Amino acid sequence: MPKAPLPQNEQERLAALRSYHILDTATEKDFDDLTQLASAICGTPISLISLVDKDRQWFKSRYGLKASETDRAWSFCAHAINRPDELLEVEDASADARFKDNALVTGDPHIVFYAGVPLVDEDGFALGSLCVIDRERRKLSNEQQSALKILGAQVISKLKLRKKLVELEAAGTRIQKLNTLLTAKEREAMQIIEHAPIAMALHTGEEMNIRFANKMMLAAWGKDELVFGMPFNKALPELAALDFPRTMRQVYRKGIAYEQTEEHMSYVHNGVLKDFYYNYGFTPLKLADGTVWAILNTAVDVTNIVRSRETVKLAEERMRLAVQSAELGTWYIDANTREFTSSARLKEMFGFYADEDMSYEASINQIPDEHRYTVIQAVEAAITKGEAFDIEYPIVGYRDNILRWVRATGKVYPASENGQAPFFSGTMLDITERKQDDQRKNDFIGMVSHELKSPLTSLSGFLQILQLKAGKASDSFTHSMATKSLNQVKKMTALINGFLNTSRLGTGKIQLNKQSFAIDELIAETLNDTSLIQDTHSLIYEPGGHVLIEADRDKVGNVITNLLSNAIKYSPKGGEVKISCSAQKGMATVKIKDSGLGISQADQDKLFDRFYRVQSLETNHIAGHGIGLYLCAEIIQAHGGKIGVESELGKGSAFWFELPIV
């Protein structure tokens, strides 16, 4: 049995058929009426609207037949569509070579007669056919053939109509979906604008009516939503006075945007006249044909930024004036490249001309040998480890050979966010005069103390003789007076020794007479001596065993005496002073703890400076010179040890020092 050949345009024909979205849809009365009519007109028991799909024929309407589709191989219609313009009429299928073996002929529904008119759409594609079928031989009359063709045309127009409807429906749903999407997008956009961190408003018409303003714009205006719909002049008379509507109108007319940055403006905001700085702009919003339909007004309040920049500028200016009037020299070192820049004043301090070049090396060369290394080390430690830089050293002028003392303080500034490399910078102050003053003071103290020493030694000798004699003569009164006088002379000697040491210290003149001794024994001795001359406080010793150190015994004794007498001096009568001594990690630690006045953190930092005394109501009536702790620190440091204090105001202090164990 020969199969119906495939039409030449089969691919396109199938695509056209699909575009009707009709395959496998439910039966429809419109189409069923047409098959029923075809059957009635042609007098056949069966009539079908058959659509020829890729591998099957599917019946949109079937009159007198149960099956909804059959294999394309058995399809009569597949033959019919090959001649789109002709009606295919087979009077006796069993006698037709094309159909006699056809399963629909040999078996159910036992087709004998077939007549089909191709269903051709407006593009010329034969989608299938409208056919009539009988189980008996028959031939259609001319009228029946014409009627079948007319009915075929009806099927096609119904198919077309149906397609349009389906398309319309699809378009309708699409529009509906788009609308929903648009409403959602509009809502989102409005929400974004409403909460944008920039003030926005929309103005329309020559009067710059306020169509909309977001929260930030309303806040900037100091208004609420009541201004919506109002002309600019009426809604915002305070701002209208600044000529905004006129500028906006020009943007509106010319269609060219207008922008201002950091514009200063004063206007009444919530009833108060205030100053503001704004970055603002008026942007024309245009229709497709270029006409402006609205003005978008945007503004950013930059008042704080401008103000803080002005404050920084002012601070910089003040700083510059201060540096100038204090005659401070300044320098700058790029921490990465080590490029060195210095001010004119700094160059002068190093004995260079203010306008000549001075390299870092050249400046270092002017520092005397014994100080040079310390300075280089301090600079390196500051740059590489960020250590504090505050150092005093002498300089010999490059051209004038004058010796100057300077104090240099600096800081390392880490890399900044705006790309500025890390740098080390600071100021330098000429302290020659202060150093000379100190020297003169030292010389004077040294000289006076020295002169006082010999009369005191004689006085001490005489008193000892007196004490001895009174003892022998059992003159207890004179003996006690001589003892008391001797104690006072001892105190005075200690004081004068202190003054002498002060004048020698700091100039590298301190001399240590080191010897090996047990520090615990020295503490016991010192405590004993102190107990002899005071009975107001209880001194409690907590020894921590035998600890041998190598140090200047007298000077370390001075340190202990000093710390002890301070503990007594700065704590109320009847108080306790605890002394402890311990050894660990190669160091001997001595601690003297009182429960007296205590020292604030700020004072603790300066306590070991020369002549520093705490200024307070409690300490003002206690006599002193502020050199005791300075001396202690100098002595301990000369031994390579450490000294410090732990204290809290009102709760007492614990002074401690550490010295290396033998």
Of 213, 378, 629, 659, the one binding ligand ADP by CB under 6 A:
629
Of 177, 234, 514, 625, the one binding ligand ADP by CB under 6 A:
625
Tokens standing for residue 70 = 């059959």
Query: What distance in Å separates the CA atoms of residue 528 and residue 532, rounded to the nearest whole number?
Result: 6
Which residues ranging from 513 to 572 are in contact with ligand ADP (CB under 6 A)?
A: 566-567, 570
Of 541, 619, 637, 638, the one binding ligand ADP by CB under 6 A:
619
3 state SS of 601: helix
Question: Residue 606's CB: how many other CB atoms inside 10 A?
Answer: 12
Question: Residue 120's CB: how many other CB atoms inside 10 A?
Answer: 18
| Part of the chain binding ligand ADP (CB under 6 A), chosen from 292-300, 350-358, 485-493, 612-620 | 612-620
Are the C-beta atoms of residues 462 and 481 closer than 8 Å to each other? no
Does 613 engage in binding with ligand ADP (CB under 6 A)?
A: yes
Greatest distance between any 2 Cα atoms in the chain: 180
Q: Which of 150, 130, 153 is nearest to 59 (CA)?
A: 130
Tell me the chain's radius of gyration from C-alpha atoms: 56
Does 628 engage in binding with ligand ADP (CB under 6 A)?
A: yes
Of 653, 657, 658, 659, the one binding ligand ADP by CB under 6 A:
653
Of 78, 151, 470, 607, the one binding ligand ADP by CB under 6 A:
607
Nearer Cβ to ligand ADP, position 111 or 599? Answer: 599
Nearer Cβ to ligand ADP, position 261 or 531? Answer: 531
Nearer Cβ to ligand ADP, position 221 or 570? Answer: 570
Tell me the closest approach of the beta carbon of residue 625 to ligand ADP, in angstroms.
Answer: 5
- Binders of ligand ADP: how many residues, by CB under 6 A? 20
Angle between helices 628-638 and 476-504 (to 10 degrees): 60
Does 644 engage in binding with ligand ADP (CB under 6 A)?
A: no
Of 156, 597, 633, 643, the one binding ligand ADP by CB under 6 A:
597
Tell me the closest approach of the beta carbon of residue 431 to ligand ADP, in angstroms.
Answer: 22
Query: What distance in Å separates the CA atoms of residue 498 and residue 631, rounded to the nearest whole number?
Result: 7
Tell me the closest approach of the beta carbon of residue 566 to ligand ADP, in angstroms.
Answer: 3
| Part of the chain binding ligand ADP (CB under 6 A), chosen from 215-223, 227-235, 527-535, 617-625 | 617-625
Q: Which of 623, 499, 642 is nearest to 558 (CA)?
A: 499
Q: Which of 164, 70, 159, 73 is nearest to 119 (CA)?
A: 159
Residue 251 phi, psi dihedral angles, 5° rounding: -60, -40
Tell me the closest approach of the beta carbon of residue 574 to ligand ADP, in angstroms.
Answer: 16
3 state SS of 656: strand
The partner residues of 72 in beta bridges, in order of sequence, read: none
Tokens standing for residue 462 = 């005489």
Are the C-beta atoms of residues 526 and 533 closer than 8 Å to each other? no
Does 599 engage in binding with ligand ADP (CB under 6 A)?
A: yes
Nearer Cβ to ligand ADP, position 260 or 619? Answer: 619
Does 594 engage in binding with ligand ADP (CB under 6 A)?
A: yes
Q: Which residue bears the tokens 């974004």?
A: 192
Tokens standing for residue 521 = 């024994």
Does 626 engage in binding with ligand ADP (CB under 6 A)?
A: yes
Nearer Cβ to ligand ADP, position 431 or 654? Answer: 654
Does 634 engage in binding with ligand ADP (CB under 6 A)?
A: no
Does 596 engage in binding with ligand ADP (CB under 6 A)?
A: yes
Q: At residue 257, what is the residue type?
A: A
Name the residues that contact ligand ADP, by CB under 6 A: 566-567, 570, 594, 596-597, 599, 607, 612-614, 619, 624-630, 653
